[in-house]
Amino acid sequence: MEPRMLQLLLVLHVLALPVQLCEIPKGKSPLIRCLNTELLRQSQDLLVEPNPSVYAALRLSADHSLEKEARYLQRLKDVFLPSVSSSIAVDQQKQPSTGRLALYLLALRAACQDMETRQGRKLVTQLKGHLHKEKTQIAFKGKGHPITSYYQYSLGVLALCVHGKKLETDVIRQLLNAEKHNKFTHGGKLSVDTEAMVGLAFACLERANLYEPSTVAAIHTAGRRVTKKILRAQTAKGTFGNVFSSPLAVQLLIATRMGTEPECTKVMATLLESLEAFQNPMTMSQLLPVLYGKSYLDIATMECQAENDTLELDTTCPGPGPLILGPEMITVHLDVENSLRPEKLYNCSIQVPSGSSLLAVLKTAKQGSPGQFTFETQDTLQGLFLTSVMGVKAGDGEWKYWQLLQAPDTSLEKGISDYHPRDGETILLKFRTW
């Protein structure tokens, strides 16, 4: 063979090799194994409701504890199957939301469960039904808002797609339309998390081989636009959006192989430096796949064979350790306002032991002024969500919420249980639309 021909073949061969974007620098595997172990440890706590996102993350890892994973899967089934199998009329209230059901379906695929059973088909039909209702809500009076959120909507699309199911064209069309009109926001800013989830859904749909060429072309164009929006959202520190939206953004880059090596190197370095910020199981579960070079799209091809059953809970890991409350007291100022009226609802200064969470501050305020300061929370997969303050809460379909800020205008990146205010800090609770 001619040398030039040989050279050409070599170049073509290199181009055809699967290039892994956003690879982890060598020598970091002990740290990654620690995060993996920590997530496994948290999954074993029987007092915490099982989370399908945690299960999917454990399955996407390269190291497993197969017996513990199997027990966790059983706990998930115990939670999800009764609500899925009961009659809709009786159990309308307890039906899992679009996003939870979608995560459960992703978890089942990550366990290589047979879906061609009565139960499996029912789950798929139920998720399709949720998406149909979400789509109808978006079109309702031109409000352009799904029942839950575009994040959950795209998670639903992704889960069905990962199972190889065909979606209603109108469901896809509404997502394309929302992307075109930049509908994905969080606290008034671009929601990189939502963009990334939508991008993953588009990437899956594009590969599915189930849709008309014109639909596939529209998905392709929208998918590229989504990735470009995310790349443009890279900060000087390297994160896409904030540190907690970066894992999903990187999942998208891994799945689509878009983005450049420097963009990836920067974000991975920052994520590895910020591992301590990932203590919440939901945020950990979005990061772990990335540390193993995986995205939710990889769930579609999982075979659950010859897996490495070597993950042990007794691995010793460096870490921040349990947060110890200090003997000294700190003062945190609390301002409560309804930006929709606008009115100031409450303000006071609270003394708490140093190291206390914002939740502890709110509890102390409630105890210190019985009847005056009130708040309510709701447990979610992400943790405790602040639903109501001073009796003000969002009604169904109102898309309002209590935003947590460090006064005057820095939106907190953690929830009430995970955020620990410093001495002298002013926390602003602001009721607003989202």
Task: Tell me the residue number closest to ligand B12, measured at CB.
Answer: 415
* Per-residue binding letters, 48-77, with ligand B12 (x by CB under 6 A): ------------------------------
Binding of ligand B12 at residue 374 (CB under 6 A)? no
Q: Of these, 385, 390, 406, 426, which contacts ligand B12 (CB under 6 A)? A: 385
Q: For ligand B12, which is the closer residue by CB, 72 or 431? A: 431
Q: For ligand B12, which is the closer residue by CB, 108 or 218? A: 108
Q: For ligand B12, which is the closer residue by CB, 311 or 365? A: 365
Element (H, E) at 346: strand 343-353
Answer yes or no: are the C-beta atoms of 143 and 397 closer than 8 Å: no
Q: Of these, 254, 381, 392, 428, which contacts ligand B12 (CB under 6 A)? A: 381
Question: Could you tell me the sign of the dihedral formed by the alpha carbons of 217, 219, 220, 225, in that order?
Answer: positive
Beta strands 400-406 and 383-389: pairing type?
unpaired
Q: Of these, 269, 272, 348, 412, which contacts ligand B12 (CB under 6 A)? A: 412
Distance of CA 219 to the CA centre of its chain: 22
Shortest Cβ 377–ligand B12 spacing (Å): 8
Q: How many residues bind ligand B12 (CB under 6 A)?
A: 40
Measured at the CA of 220, the angle between CA 217 and CA 221, to 5 degrees, comes to: 90
Q: For ligand B12, which is the closer residue by CB, 65 or 285? A: 285
Q: Of these, 104, 240, 373, 402, which contacts ligand B12 (CB under 6 A)? A: 402
Binding of ligand B12 at residue 157 (CB under 6 A)? no
Binding of ligand B12 at residue 418 (CB under 6 A)? yes
Q: Which one of 92-100, 134-142, 312-320, 359-367 is the stretch in contact with ligand B12 (CB under 6 A)? A: 92-100
Q: Indicate the DSSP class of residue 240.
A: B
Residue 129: C-alpha distances to residues 136, 168, 347 (Å)? 11, 10, 45
Answer yes or no: are the C-beta atoms of 363 and 369 closer than 8 Å: no
Answer yes or no: are the C-beta atoms of 191 and 245 closer than 8 Å: yes
Q: For ligand B12, which is the closer residue by CB, 37 or 280? A: 280
Q: For ligand B12, which is the closer residue by CB, 198 or 218? A: 198
Q: Which one of 41-49, 67-75, 171-179, 382-390 is the stretch in contact with ligand B12 (CB under 6 A)? A: 382-390
Binding of ligand B12 at residue 40 (CB under 6 A)? no
Q: Of these, 208, 350, 404, 427, which contacts ligand B12 (CB under 6 A)? A: 404
Q: What residues form DSSP beta bridges with 430?
A: 337, 403
Shortest Cβ 315–ligand B12 spacing (Å): 24
Structure-token pair, residue 295: 């995205």
Structure-token pair, residue 376: 């309510």
Structure-token pair, residue 327: 């003997």
Q: Of these, 234, 283, 295, 338, which contacts ligand B12 (CB under 6 A)? A: 283
Residue 189 dihedral angles phi and psi, to the nearest 5°: -115, 165
Q: For ligand B12, which is the closer residue by CB, 129 or 383? A: 383
Shortest Cβ 111–ligand B12 spacing (Å): 18
Write out the binding residues for ligand B12, residues 193-232 only, by CB under 6 A.
193-194
Binding of ligand B12 at residue 382 (CB under 6 A)? yes
Q: Among 229, 423, 219, which Cα is nearest to 326's?
A: 423
CA 228/CA 301 separation, integer angstroms: 26
Answer yes or no: are the C-beta atoms of 35 and 276 closer than 8 Å: no
Answer yes or no: are the C-beta atoms of 275 and 318 closer than 8 Å: no
Query: Residue 296 class from Cβ within 10 Å (0-12 exposed, 13-18 middle, 19+ buried)?
Result: buried
Measured at the CA of 192, the angle between CA 418 and CA 194, to 5 degrees, comes to: 90
Write out the binding residues for ligand B12, residues 176-195 only, by CB under 6 A.
186-187, 191, 193-194
Binding of ligand B12 at residue 280 (CB under 6 A)? yes
Residue 329: C-alpha distances to residues 243, 332, 347, 352 (Å)? 30, 10, 19, 5
Write out the binding residues for ligand B12, residues 240-259 only, by CB under 6 A.
241-242, 244-245, 248
Residue type, 90: V
Shortest Cβ 286–ligand B12 spacing (Å): 6
Q: Write out the E strands in 206-338.
A: 329-338
Binding of ligand B12 at residue 151 (CB under 6 A)? yes
Residues at the contact surface with ligand B12, assessed by CB under 6 A: 97, 99-100, 103, 148-149, 151-152, 186-187, 191, 193-194, 241-242, 244-245, 248, 280, 283, 286, 380-386, 401-404, 411-416, 418, 434
